[in-house]
Amino acid sequence: MSSPNLGIALLAESQSGKYVTMNNAIDALDGAITDVFVQAMADADQTPSTANAMAHAVIQCTGALTADRHLILPNTKKLYVVHNLTTGSHNVIAKTSSASATVTVAAAAIQHVYCYGANNFYAIA
């Protein structure tokens, strides 16, 4: 069994090795609120793995863009910081695969975004 949003393993009542599970859970939580993942945009829309998206708080988008590109993230409740480090003066647009609301991150900008878990992203000012 795991946590509903971040997928962090939970302790089982009859489990042996609870310290290992608890330490792994703390490490996973620590990463989910502090770690940085670099997503190479490769001048195309990109979908990082669910594991990478959920295990990191900050997503740095890199690469040379010739048009605005989508960063397609899991449809799970989560707060992200998206840092658009791409070149070419184009936007990175955070969304889910069936987004009804998106967040545009301008070139060289850093934006807090929240996925509500209902195919919606919201900018946090």
Map tokens 């962090």 to a residue: 8
51-80 pLDDT, tens per residue? 999 999 999 999 999 999 999 999 999 999
Burial of 52 (0-12, 13-18, 19+ CB in 10 A): middle
Mean pLDDT, residues 12-37: 92
Q: CA 59, CA 115: separation in Å to the nearest integer?
A: 14
CA triple 88-72-28, angle to 5 deg:
110
* Domain chopping of the chain, boundaries: 1-34, 36-124
pTM check: above 0.85: yes
What's the pLDDT tens digit per position in 36-55?
999 999 999 999 999 999 99
The CATH code of domain 36-124 reads 2.60.120
